[in-house]
């Protein structure tokens, strides 16, 4: 399904204690499949409690660049108004840091 130029990265963050995601998973996670030659996100998922959240988060990330942190964060802040908005941004930043470490090693 994914070619050999792809890698899988998890980003995580804490969210508010009254958030259903926090109650179910104890944290918020995003999983990203990234093509390391183009830095493009080709697939995404998250620890959501309803499928629509996962589907929306996926379309926020797919075709974005792992190197365009400001652009991705701007999309999150202007389009995603779920209770995990901040956690989603933090999880992406966490995944970005991991990605940079991977491509620089």
* CATH code at position 74: 3.90.1010.10
- Mean pLDDT score across all residues of the chain: 91
What DSSP element (H or E) covers 28? strand 28-35
H runs (alpha helix) in the chain: 20-25, 51-61, 69-79, 85-104
Provide the residue range defining the domain that includes 61.
Answer: 6-104
For position 5, what pLDDT does the model report?
96
For position 49, what pLDDT does the model report?
79
Using CA atoms, how far residue 48 sits from 9, 39, 104, in Å, is 17, 25, 31
Question: Which neighbouring-strand residues pair with 7?
Answer: 34
pLDDT in tens, 14-40: 766 565 555 555 678 999 999 999 999
The pTM is what? 0.89
Using CA atoms, how far residue 42 sits from 14, 18, 65, in Å, is 25, 32, 9
Indicate whether 1 belongs to any domain.
Answer: no
The C-alpha torsion from 43 through 44 and 45 to 46, rounded to 10°, is 170
Number of domain units in the chain: 1
pLDDT in tens, 76-100: 999 999 888 999 999 999 999 999 9
């Amino acid at each position: 399904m994914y070619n050999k130029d792809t890698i899988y990265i998890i980003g995580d963050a804490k969210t508010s204690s009254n958030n259903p995601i926090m109650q179910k998973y104890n944290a918020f996670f995003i999983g990203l499949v990234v093509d390391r030659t183009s830095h493009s996100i080709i697939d995404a998922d998250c620890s959501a409690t309803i499928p629509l959240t996962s589907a929306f988060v996926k379309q926020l990330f797919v075709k974005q660049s792992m190197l365009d942190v400001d652009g991705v964060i701007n999309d999150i802040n202007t389009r995603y108004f779920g209770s995990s908005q901040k956690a989603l941004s933090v999880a992406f930043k966490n995944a970005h840091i991991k990605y940079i470490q991977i491509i620089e090693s």
